Amino acid sequence: MGGIAIGPIFWALAALAAAAAAAYGLYFLRKPPSFARALVKTAFMGATAAALISAHAPFPLIVAIICSALGDFFLAFKAKWTLHLGILSFLLAQLVYVVMFGAIWFFSGDNAPLWPRYAAMIAIGLFLLGFLIWFWRTDEFRRAPISSTLAVATLIALGVSSPVLIVSGLMYFNGEADSRPPLIAFAPLAGLVLATIVLAGWRRKLGAVAMAAMTYAGAISAMAVAAMWLPWVGWLAMIGAVSFLASDLVLAAELFRLPADSPARRWPAPVVWCTYVAAQVLILTGVIVVALSRHGMKKLSVIIAAYTLAACGQSTAPSSPPSGPQYENAQPIIDRLPLIDACLAQAPDRHVVTIDPAARRTLRLSGEAGDVDCVVPDDNDDPENATVLPALNDPPTDAIQFVRAPGENPGGECYTAPEVRGADGELLGWVLDPEGC
């Protein structure tokens, strides 16, 4: 199963997580706050994190689960200070999810069809808007509707833009001097932060905790939208992200809007817990399915870690510095790397790969033994199912001739072939000049 090391320890911890989730939902959910109740609630995500660690899951995924476990622990109590810490813990979890989903989307190339993604994003936006209209139907909001609306809007915008703010800040303070973004690039974010502070202070009578929850609402909405751009094979994670959003909005209604003596208070707690458990399980399952189906867990771990740690000026693996010209239009090559590697493994005596930008299922392999075509069947997108066949038609004039790294620059003494590098700087190969010397 790719790079996942699923063994007895994993299954034992997964069983413990399931037992804790069931015990909390069936017994402890209606009990008064206690340390034992908090431990059982935390054991669901805590044991899940331990299971993922034993399975060598991607580091960001483990971080998100650990943050969720901390959030479960703090929200198991009723004190105000634990509520603040619980919101903060889950805010961090959502930010990690956003970055992780963004990394998977950026490297996957699996986007079509687009219209269901746009439709889902619009539906999430309308759902959130409807909830906010109901949530802020308070007397204090009605006294100053314009300033209150501006305050809530800036808090949500701050939550949505938090991943950009954090990653950009890390890039500036920890990155190399020549790769740091200019200070002027932070002006819009700085303006948003300042406007949020001013408006939130001005409308503080709306409730400090409720307003802080709006920043979290923006972050989890960003997470749900980002999940809509996962590869379609990860559709379970898309459903999980929406379930997570629904769970937290119901929790917000319970904490801030429902009166203490309201009969409706019977149903939020079980709804919140069931949708939350389903959300985390679906997100985990979806991400792991994406990992196994696209690149294998080990490669996805490197991709996500590179995307995340790039902001800190770090690298997940040493890579050689650029030693020659860089090929600019490298995306068609990068998109086909899994297929290229699978085809070269079947024809190791051929090292030149000819890529037709308009054909995503066929490659031409060339070498001293002659030319062959490597083709993926129409009914299966998995590169591992590629088949080597006799070469048929000549490639088009705009075809790209690519040589996979490692090795020496194939231009030899005639010329320096342009390099193709990944987003993390890793040397992927070179593009040949069809005219040669």
Predicted confidence at residue 322, as pLDDT, reads 59
Distance CA 372, CA 346 (A): 11
Percent with pLDDT over 90 in the chain: 30
What is the pLDDT averaged over residues 223-245?
Answer: 93
Per-residue model confidence as pLDDT tens digits over 58-74: 888 899 999 999 999 99
Distance CA 313, CA 175 (A): 4
Predicted confidence at residue 301, as pLDDT, reads 47
Distance CA 70, CA 23 (A): 18
Q: Is the Cβ–Cβ distance between 135 and 256 less than 8 Å? A: yes
Distance CA 116, CA 113 (A): 7
Q: Is the Cβ–Cβ distance between 238 and 230 less than 8 Å? A: yes
Using the predicted structure, report yes or no on whether residue 308 has a pLDDT greater than 50.
Answer: no
Per-residue model confidence as pLDDT tens digits over 119-149: 999 999 999 999 988 888 888 888 888 888 8
Predicted confidence at residue 46, as pLDDT, reads 96
Predicted confidence at residue 312, as pLDDT, reads 41
Distance CA 326, CA 409 (A): 12
- Please, is 122 exposed, middle or buried when counting C-beta atoms within 10 Å of its C-beta (0-12, 13-18, 19+)? exposed
Q: Is the Cβ–Cβ distance between 160 and 216 less than 8 Å? A: no
Structure tokens at 174: 């920890």
Sequence-distant (6+) residues with CB within 8 A of 180 are 171, 172
Q: Which of 90-94, 302-306, 324-328, 354-358 has the highest mean pLDDT?
A: 90-94
Using the predicted structure, report yes or no on whether residue 297 has a pLDDT greater than 50.
Answer: no
Residue 14 pLDDT level (bands cut at 50, 70, 90):
very high
Predicted confidence at residue 437, as pLDDT, reads 59
Q: Is the Cβ–Cβ distance between 384 and 368 less than 8 Å? A: no
User: Mean pLDDT score of the chain, rounded to an integer?
Assistant: 82
Q: 3-state DSSP call for residue 247? A: helix
pTM, to two decimals: 0.66
Predicted confidence at residue 243, as pLDDT, reads 96
Per-residue model confidence as pLDDT tens digits over 171-229: 667 655 566 667 777 778 778 878 878 877 887 777 777 777 888 999 999 999 999 99
Least confident interval from 13-17, 53-57, 304-308? 304-308
Per-residue model confidence as pLDDT tens digits over 78-127: 888 898 899 999 999 999 999 889 888 877 665 778 899 999 999 999 99
Using the predicted structure, report yes or no on whether residue 317 has a pLDDT greater than 70.
Answer: no
Residue 379 pLDDT level (bands cut at 50, 70, 90):
confident
Helical H runs in 29-76? Answer: 35-54, 59-75
Residue 326 pLDDT level (bands cut at 50, 70, 90):
confident
Predicted confidence at residue 350, as pLDDT, reads 84
Least confident interval from 49-63, 104-118, 315-329? 315-329
What is the pLDDT averaged over residues 337-355?
Answer: 86
